[in-house]
Amino acid sequence: MPTFETVNLTSEKSAVVIEIGSAYTKCGFAGENAPRCIIPSKAKIQDSGEERMINSYRDEEDLYNLLLHFIHYLYFKHLLVSPKDRRVVIVESVLCATNVRETLAKVLFHHYEVLSLFFVPSHLVSLYTLGTSTAVVIDIGFKETVVLPVYEGFTILKAWQAQPLAGEIVERELSKKLKLEHGPGDSDVKEECIQEEVIENIKVRTCFVTTAERAQKLEEIVHPPPVLYGLDGNRYIKVDGKTRESAFESLFTMDADEFSVPTMILDALLKCPVDTRKVLAENLLVIGGTSMAMGMRSRILSELKNLSNSAKYIDLLPIRTFKFHNAPAKGNFVSWLGGSIVGATEMVVSRSLTKDLYQKQKCLPDWVNLAFSNNYELKHKYFSG
Ligand X SMILES: Nc1ncnc2c1ncn2[C@@H]1O[C@H](COP(=O)(O)OP(=O)(O)OP(=O)(O)O)[C@@H](O)[C@H]1O
The site for Mg ion (CB under 5 A) is made up of: 21, 141
Q: DSSP letters along 269-297, please?
A: HHTS-GGGHHHHHT-EEEESGGGGSTTHH
We find the least distance from the C-beta atom of residue 115 to ligand X, in angstroms, to be 26
Nearer to ligand X, 169 or 269 (CB): 169
Q: Which is nearer to ligand X, 81 or 301 (CB)?
A: 301
Q: Which is nearer to ligand X, 144 or 173 (CB)?
A: 144
**How many Cα atoms are found within 13 Å in the side-chain-facing hemisphere of 131?**
6
Q: By the 8 A CB rule, do 173 and 164 touch?
A: no
In the list Mg ion, ligand X, none, the entry touching 289 (Cβ below 5 to 8 angstroms by class) is ligand X
| Residue 229: contacted member of Mg ion, ligand X, none (CB under 5 to 8 Å, by partner type) | none
Q: How far is the CB of 207 from ligand X (least distance, A)?
A: 8
Indicate which of ligand X, Mg ion, none lies near residue 262 (CB less than 5 to 8 Å, by partner kind): none
Specify the residue, 96 or 279, whose C-beta has the smaller distance to ligand X. Answer: 96
Q: Give the count of beta carbons closer than 10 Å to the beta carbon of residue 183.
A: 11
The nearer residue to Mg ion, 215 or 268, going by C-beta atoms, is 268
Contact of residue 166 among Mg ion, ligand X, none (CB under 5-8 Å per partner type): ligand X
Q: Phi first, then psi: what are they for 354, rounded to 5°?
A: -80, 165
Alpha-carbon distance of 303 to 326, in angstroms, equals 19
Shortest reach from residue 32's CB to Mg ion, in Å: 19
Q: Residue 303: which of Mg ion, ligand X, none does it interact with, CB under 5 to 8 A by kind? A: none
Shortest distance, position 238 Cβ to Mg ion, whole Å:
32
Cα dihedral 18, 21, 25, 26 sign: negative
114 binds, among ligand X, Mg ion, none (CB under 5 to 8 A by kind): none
Residues that bind ligand X (CB under 6 A): 21-24, 139, 141-144, 166-167, 200, 203-204, 288-290, 292-293, 332
Task: Please identify, using beta-carbon distances, which residue of 139 and 303 lies nearer to ligand X.
Answer: 139
Q: To the nearest whole angstrom, how small is the minimum distance from the Cβ of residue 86 to ligand X?
A: 23
Instruction: Give the count of alpha carbons within 13 A of 5, CB side only.
Output: 2
**Residue whose CB is less far from Mg ion, 16 or 115:** 16
Minimal distance, residue 288 CB to Mg ion, in Å? 6
Q: How far is the CB of 239 from ligand X (least distance, A)?
A: 14
Q: Which is nearer to Mg ion, 141 or 149 (CB)?
A: 141
Question: Cα torsion at 223, 224, 225, 227 (round to 10°)?
Answer: -110
> Pick from Mg ion, ligand X, none: which does 231 bind, CB < 5 to 8 A by kind?
none
- 285-314 as b/e: b if 16+ CB within 10 A: bbbbbbbebeebbebbbbbbeebbeeeebe
- What is the per-residue burial (b if ≥16 Cβ within 10 Å, else e) of 336-369? bbbbbbbbbbebbbebbbebeebeeeeebbbeee
Q: Which does 204 bind (CB under 5 to 8 A by kind): ligand X, Mg ion, none?
A: ligand X
Nearer to Mg ion by C-beta: 35 or 141? Answer: 141
CB 164 within 8 A of CB 144: yes
Task: Say which entry of ligand X, Mg ion, none residue 144 contacts (CB below 5 to 8 A, set by partner kind).
Answer: ligand X
Q: Nearest-CA neighbor of 169 among 197, 148, 192, 141?
A: 141
How far, rounded to the nearest angstrom, does the alpha carbon of residue 103 sit from its chain's CA centroid?
20
Q: Which residues contact 343 (CB under 8 A, 6 or more apart)?
A: 14, 15, 17, 30, 31, 87, 89, 118
Contact 278, 322 (CB under 8 A): no
Q: Shortest distance, CB of residue 126 to Mg ion, whole angstroms?
A: 10
CA distance 302 to 67: 42
Q: How far is the CB of 24 from Mg ion (least distance, A)?
A: 8
